[in-house]
Amino acid sequence: MGLLVVGLTAFPVFRGPQEHRGHGCCLSGSHMVRRLSVRSPRLQRARRPPPSAPPTTAPMDSPSPPPPPPYPPAAAEGGPAADSQAAELPRLTVTQVEQMKVEAKVGEIYRVLFGNAPNANSLMLELWREQHVEYLTRGLKHLGPSFHVLDANRPWLCYWIIHALALLDEIPDDVEDDIVDFLSRCQDKDGGYGGGPGQLPHLATTYAAVNTLVTIGSERALSSVNRDNLYKFMLRMKDTSGAFRCAFSQVVNSGEKIVSFHVEFLTPYICHSFYYPLTRMHDGGEIDVRASYTAISVASLVNILDGELAKGVKPMKVALLGNRMLKLMGWVAFRQGVECGFQGRTNKLVDGCYSFWQGAALALTQKLMTVVDEQLKSSYSSKRPPGDDACGTSSSTEAAYYAKFGFDFIEKSNQIGPLFHNIALQQYILLCAQVLDGGLRDKPGKNRDHYHSCYCLSGLSVSQYSAMVDSDACPLPQHVLGPYSNLLEPIHPLYNVVLDKYHTAYEFFSS
């Protein structure tokens, strides 16, 4: 029985049957170290190791040297030279100082790698499968008191853990039925899934619950989804305020403040070749692009996406789509920095979870560029479902068209290679995100957690398969950093579920 312990009260993550109650391109090798050190002379001095004590093992959690002071030493206190120096060298921001700290820690780890013998590097670059499986499996059965803040996110905990285990091909058989039972109690009688039994349904936790059930993949898990009620829930969440384009504004609940969202800053699923009407996250809840993605994803995954749900969807013009993709490609590619990992946006620190959020955006773009090329060669209207307004009706032909969207997408070949440094990203995940006792983390110095374990492993899978032309091909050894045993299961980048699990669900919900 999985417990979320809060004081003297135990809240189950799920109950067992007996309790049925209710860039720049980053550099590798010595060039990586050189670029890090040349970036700031002060940082170079701060990172210089003592000549008598070179490191012999990867200091994955070792303390880093202190950051340089915000001001350089004054030439003479109160003198003209000091005033001139202070005027020429502005004060460093908090972000710049934090960036230097991160670069110092990452650079220290990479120096060990590039100073080792090749056989030692193989050990350093190994994915610690057994430790990760033990950490993740333990999370399904027991969580500590600090997890009480995630009481409304228990389907997410199930998804993060089960998906990470599926990537490692290690889902334990003895917990599958318990998870299905628990998520069934999270399913609202009027459709959708809440954050726990008896909680209001929400599109985010609905996405997490459905992805978990698809990842388990058994007939019992897939048949537990009440698709009729889920469809009605989706319709209730749909808004009539119009479709989002390159940027859109949303009136927040107060009715006063306007918030703008720009496509270049949304990851990674704006890459769809459709506009989609705005959608609410829950009854009376906020309206934003997260709701649009989760609604599309869930409806497509369980084959309930039809003309009524997609009403208002408009095909994007080919020229506009190509232009947007090029801008998106450039913006996301430059989020991979000198640490070899991705940042979330400009002036943010590197974070392991963006290995998926940004890496998958580029993986989607690889295939979408093929779509653009096809549309440039032939009229898109000839490929649309029949009818004057193909997106405004709900014929069986349209239903089949929408149901096949995810399948047709993943079957497309990649006509271009990786749009990011896939080997460098693997290097960051394996050396900087892994924790020796199991689990993965944001960056060196941070603690492990199930969220980062899920998305670091998802990003690792994306980077391993990004050089493949066909989705069913196995990567060559040169595309997998470290021993070939590091290879994970491939994912469907639209849904972030393991590809084999997607195919099982597609066949089940299409029958």
What does the alpha-carbon distance between residue 165 and residue 162 come to, in Å, rounded to a whole number?
Answer: 5
Mean pLDDT value of segment 291-319: 80
Give the C-alpha separation, 230 to 298, whole Å: 9
User: Predicted confidence band at 378 (pLDDT cuts at 50, 70, 90)?
Assistant: low
**Nearest by Cα to 135 from 170, 111, 108, 101:** 170
For 363, phi and psi rounded to 5 degrees? -65, -40
Mean pLDDT of the chain: 76
**Mean pLDDT value of segment 50-58:** 38
In the predicted model, what is the mean pLDDT of residues 185-192?
Answer: 97
> Hey, is 33 helix, strand or coil?
helix
Three-state secondary-structure class, residue 410: helix
User: Can you give the three-state secondary structure of 359-391, one letter per residue?
Assistant: HHHHHHHHHHHHHHHHHHHCCHHHHCCCCCCCC
Amino acid at 231: Y
Structure confidence at residue 118 as a pLDDT band (50, 70, 90): confident
pLDDT of residue 185: 98
- Kindly state the average pLDDT of the residues 328-332: 92
Residue 188 pLDDT level (bands cut at 50, 70, 90):
very high
Model confidence at 130, pLDDT cuts 50, 70, 90, reads very high
Question: What does the alpha-carbon distance between residue 506 and residue 404 come to, in Å, rounded to a whole number?
Answer: 9
Residue 420 near residue 412 (C-beta atoms within 8 A):
no
3-class DSSP state of 66: coil
- The encoded tokens of residue 157 equal 């905990």
Average pLDDT over every residue of 250-268: 33
- Going by pLDDT thresholds of 50, 70 and 90, the confidence category of residue 46 is very low
Tokens 């005027």 correspond to 87
CA distance 89 to 71: 8
44 vs 244 pLDDT, higher one: 44
Q: Determine what percent of the chain is predicted with pLDDT higher than 90.
A: 51
Position 348 confidence tier, pLDDT thresholds 50, 70, 90: very high
pLDDT value at 29 more than 50: no
Looking at residue 310, its pLDDT comes to 77
* Continuous segment of H or E residues that includes residue 237: helix 227-237
Write down all domains in the chain, each with its CATH number in brackets.
Answer: 95-249+263-377+395-510 (1.50.10.20)
Check if the beta carbon of residue 136 is closer than 8 Å to that of residue 164.
yes
pLDDT band at 393 (very low <50, low <70, confident <90, very high): very low
Bridge-based pairing state of the strands 238-243 and 277-280: antiparallel
Provide the CB-side half-sphere exposure for 467 (13 A, CA): 13
Instruction: Give φ, ψ of 461 to 5 degrees.
Output: -65, -45
pLDDT over 70 at 57, yes or no:
no
Asked if residue 477 has a cis previous peptide bond (ω within 30° of 0), the answer is no
User: Confidence class of residue 76 from pLDDT cuts 50, 70 and 90?
Assistant: very low
Instruction: Say which residue, 133 or 48, is predicted with more confidence.
Output: 133
Task: Report how far Cα 363 is from the mean position of its chain's Cα atoms.
Answer: 12
Residue 393's alpha-carbon distances to 127, 301, 313, 331, 389, in angstroms, are: 49, 20, 11, 36, 7
Tokens of 504: 């099982």
Residue for token pair 């949303």: 250
State both tokens at 324: 């947007």
* pTM of this structure: 0.76
Cα Rg of the chain, angstroms: 25
Cis peptide before 268 (omega within 30 of 0): yes
Is residue 444's pLDDT more than 90?
yes
pLDDT of amino acid 372: 74
Q: How confident is the model at residue 286 (pLDDT cuts 50, 70, 90)?
A: low
Q: Tokens representing 459?
A: 């990003």
- Please report, in angstroms and rounded to a whole number, the separation of the first and last CA atoms in the chain: 34
pLDDT at residue 465 greater than cutoff 60: yes
Which residues on adjacent β-strands are paired with residue 194? 201
pLDDT at 390: 37
Let me know: does 150 contact 453? Beta carbons within 8 Å.
no
Q: Does position 350 have pLDDT exceeding 80, yes or no? A: yes
Q: What is the mean pLDDT of residues 110-133?
A: 91
Task: Find the range with the poorest average confidence among 130-139, 413-422, 432-441, 445-454.
Answer: 413-422
Q: Is the pLDDT reported for residue 379 higher than 60? A: no
Q: What angle do CA 182, 183, 188 make, to 5 degrees?
A: 115
At residue 278 the predicted structure's pLDDT band, cuts being 50, 70 and 90, is low
Q: Which two tokens stand for residue 338?
A: 């000198």
Q: What is the mean pLDDT of residues 7-20?
A: 33
Mean pLDDT of 164-185: 96
Rounded to the nearest 5 percent, the helix, strand and coil shares of the chain are 50, 10, 40
Question: Where do we find the tokens 């039994």?
Answer: 197
Let me know: does 359 contact 421? Beta carbons within 8 Å. no
Stretch 20-27: mean pLDDT, rounded? 37
In this prediction, residue 301 carries a pLDDT of 95
Q: Which residue has the tokens 């039809």?
A: 306
Report the SS3 class of residue 45.
helix
Alpha-carbon gap, residue 243 to 270, rounded angstroms: 12
CA 266 – CA 248 distance, rounded (Å): 12
Q: Is 271 or 120 the better-scoring residue by pLDDT?
A: 120
Name the maximum alpha-carbon separation found in the chain.
Answer: 83
8-22, 246-260, 480-494: which is most confident: 480-494
Q: Across residues 36-48, what is the average pLDDT?
A: 38
- Separation between Cα atoms, residue 126 and residue 123, nearest integer Å: 5
Check residue 382 and give its pLDDT.
52
**Does residue 397 carry a pLDDT above 80?**
no
